[in-house]
Amino acid sequence: MMDSNEVRKKFLRFFEDKKHNIISSASLIPENDSSLLFTNSGMFPLVPYFLGEKHPAGQRIVNFQKCFRTEDIDSIGDNRHNTFFEMLGNWSFGDYFKKEQLNWWYEFLIEELKINPSQLYQTVYAGDGQVGKDEESVGVLKEIFKKYGIKAEEGPETLIKGEIGPGREIDFNNEKIFAYRDKNWWQRGEAVGELGGPDSETFYDTGKKHNLKFGKYCHINCDCGRFIEIGNSVFIQYQKTEDGWRELESKNVDFGGGLERITMMVQNKNNVFETDLFYRIIQKIEELSGKKYFNNQKAFEIIADHFKAVVFIMADDKGLFPSNVGQGYVIRRLIRRAIRYAQEIGINQDDWFKDIVWLIKEMYQNIYPELEKNFDFIIREILREEQRFIKTLAKGLKEFEKISDRKEISGFEAFDLYQTYGFPFELIKELSKEREIKIDEKGFNLEFKKHQELSRTASAGLFKGGLVDLSGKTVKLHTATHLLLAALREVLGNHVFQKGSNITTERLRFDFSHNEKLSENELKKIESLINEKIKEDLIVTAEEMDLEEAKQKGILGVFENKYKTKVKVYTTGKDGYIFSREICGGPHAARTSELKEFKILKEEAVAKGIRRIKADIYI
């Protein structure tokens, strides 16, 4: 049976044979972008190249990318969702388009992975008032199915909400291509100048029986789980104008396919947690709990998924750890939720999670060496969080005792215990049953639903998918981070390295390695040095060079790429003088004088050995 490592290798090798250059996975923690807490797709780190930047690896690239999606936390346990996952991706920046992409993808599935073509289905964009139906993709797909001896008729279109479907019985033996309106269009945003285009999704038929609770008729996007989306080819074909969408001269392809789902398909499973990407973790949970996976599926899957996500997020060199805000809050939520479900299935040994974290590290360290590098940090911080959570549960128990003398606990009170004190609802029910107290479970569910809706609304901007902000000020602030790093190293020493950055139109935030609080004199020196370089009107230039050459020249950058490729290097200087030189994807200001004036707003600690500066420029 083909394992997940072989799937990764085959994908890279296949597209390398199609003249693609291999690049490494980018960090899970986005750089210079406030629209996302975590990298949520293979496309996200490559956005500048869809907007005109030249990628140093060329017009055709391929990789597998670490991804994390907060919106899937509550979906774990449905056989196909993960919070952390790996995305197989290939891209064309103004090179090939629909015919090549769809043909190559099906060739990979059928000829490399040996997937039965009769189990594959495809969706396309149905069109609207501005952009027509994607008939080009339909034509290409019919030829592909014909090539593999499959009769492929077009099924009914869905012009209403995609989850509802077309509302009639579908002949899945003959109907293979389906058009949807809301499911098969991608765009960056609503502003004039934004990019957009149709996408074409591939589905695999697991053979699972349709569940009528999801509607009378099954369809490709049905939530019953029979059909699993395994890949999506986005065709970036249009740009928004005042009058609608105009076709681009230089069109792009963005493909992403979930490794977990593709492996599930290859290994003939109907659940991602039954693949080699998870089964050793599941076996370890069985050993720790003394219980069987198939009798406790949801709890096992939450524990396995959440700990894998936590390990990968904390393994990043940015040094993230559990906290009450931003990315740290997500880590805290994942750890505590996993601990709660572990308690449910009887796992109560001291430091039990170490076995699972060690196993995840062993499974992935040859592909992602940062797991081995930061293993001790991960164990230490999870242990601290577990101890904090145990204290939190004790507080929740005290609060429960305050209302345990009544005959009924309202839905609001139960939800307050759950939300404010992190007290598991299952434990509230168990304790109430022991004391013969009624719980308004319906009221609790209503409060929980309201909370979910509010969370979705509040996080729509924070967790939204999207592209980096390339406004004028943001570009200049990006250049300012390079000047800041160079100034920090000149004033504090060469032990200073970048540990993370975040840029909005209001300010830049820059994290760096340093063990002590900066003095007022040091901050003044750094600020003065940057403003001196701004006044000197240094020129910012870009060049491409081999990764090994960049390493040998001591150019600063994150050397995550283990493949032979070129990188883009930005140099700030003039007449042979170099102030800053870094590997970076861009874009940047052309000259430092565009920044006008640099001002440090705040300096603070982030974690042990990591400091943070917030600054702005006045243009």
Tell me how far CA of residue 238 lies from CA of 97, 194, 244, 566, in angstroms: 13, 8, 10, 29
Say if strands 84-93 and 244-258 run parallel, antiparallel, or are unpaired.
Answer: antiparallel
Note whether 27 and 80 are same-domain residues.
Answer: yes
Output the six-digit token pair for 554: 């001591």
Half-sphere exposure of 607 (CA within 13 A, CB side): 16
Segment 406-409 long-range contacts (CB within 8 Å, at least 24 positions apart)? 406/437, 407/437, 407/438, 408/437, 408/438, 408/439, 408/440, 409/437, 409/438, 409/439, 409/440
43 part of a folded domain:
yes
Rg (CA), the chain: 26
| Residues 310 and 211 grouped into a single domain | no
> Does residue 284 lie in a domain region?
no
Q: Are 236 and 314 contained in the same domain?
A: no
Residue 293 lies in a domain: no
279 located within any domain: no
- Residue 287 located in a structural domain: no
Domain count of the fold of the chain: 4
CATH classification at residue 253: 3.30.930.10
The neighbouring-strand residues paired with 334 are: none
Query: Looking at residue 456, what is its pLDDT?
Result: 53
Boundary of a domain, candidates 273, 292, 314: 273
Domain containing residue 526: CATH number = 3.30.980.10
Question: Edge-to-edge strands of the sheet including 598-607?
Answer: 498-503, 508-513, 610-617, 598-607
Q: Is residue 417 domain-shared with residue 504, that is, in the same domain?
A: no
- Written as one letter, the residue type at 218 is C
Based on the fold, state whether residues 395 and 431 are members of the same structural domain: no
| pLDDT for position 461 | 37
Same domain, 318 and 390: yes
Distance CA 76, CA 221 (A): 18
Q: Kindly give the pairing relationship between strand 185-187 and strand 195-205.
A: antiparallel
Give yes or no for a contact between 468 and 494, defined as CB atoms under 8 angstroms apart. no
Are 17 and 64 contained in the same domain? yes
Q: What pLDDT is recorded for position 334? A: 92
**Positions of the chain with pLDDT lower than 70, given as ranges:** 32-35, 79, 452-471, 558-564
The residue type at 497: F
Residue 282 is assigned to a structural domain of this protein: no
Contact indicator for 223, 210 with CB cutoff of 8 Å: no
Contacts of residue 372, Cβ cutoff 8 Å, sequence gap at least 6: 361, 365
**Partners of 63 in beta bridges:** 89
φ, ψ of residue 474 to 5 degrees: the values are: -60, -40
Choose the final residue of a domain: 441, 468, 495. 468
Indicate whether 306 belongs to any domain: yes
Is the previous residue joined to 56 through a cis bond, with omega within 30 degrees of 0? no
Question: Could you count the other beta carbons within 10 Å of the beta carbon of residue 601?
Answer: 11
Does one domain contain both 443 and 517? no
Identify whether 260 is part of a domain: yes
- Which pLDDT belongs to residue 558? 57
Domain co-membership, 12 together with 56: yes
Q: Do residues 380 and 415 share a domain?
A: no
CB distance 171 to 90 below 8 Å: no
Whether residues 564 and 594 fall in one domain: yes
Q: What is the DSSP letter of 209?
A: P
Range(s) of the domain holding residue 313: 300-402
CA distance 467 to 46: 9
Question: Model pTM?
Answer: 0.79
Q: Where is the domain boundary, 468, 490, 522?
A: 468
> Do 412 and 395 reside in the same domain of the chain?
no
Identity at 520, one-letter amino acid code: E
| DSSP 3-state of 123 | strand
Q: Residues 6 or more apart from 38 whose CB is under 8 A from it?
A: 28, 29, 30, 67, 68, 69, 70, 313, 327, 330
Coil, helix or strand for 84?
A: strand
Interatomic CA distance for residues 423 and 148, integer angstroms: 55
Please tell me the total number of residues recorded for the chain in this structure. Answer: 619
Single-letter amino acid, residue 242: E
Instruction: Say if residues 98 and 137 touch (Cβ distance below 8 Å).
Output: yes
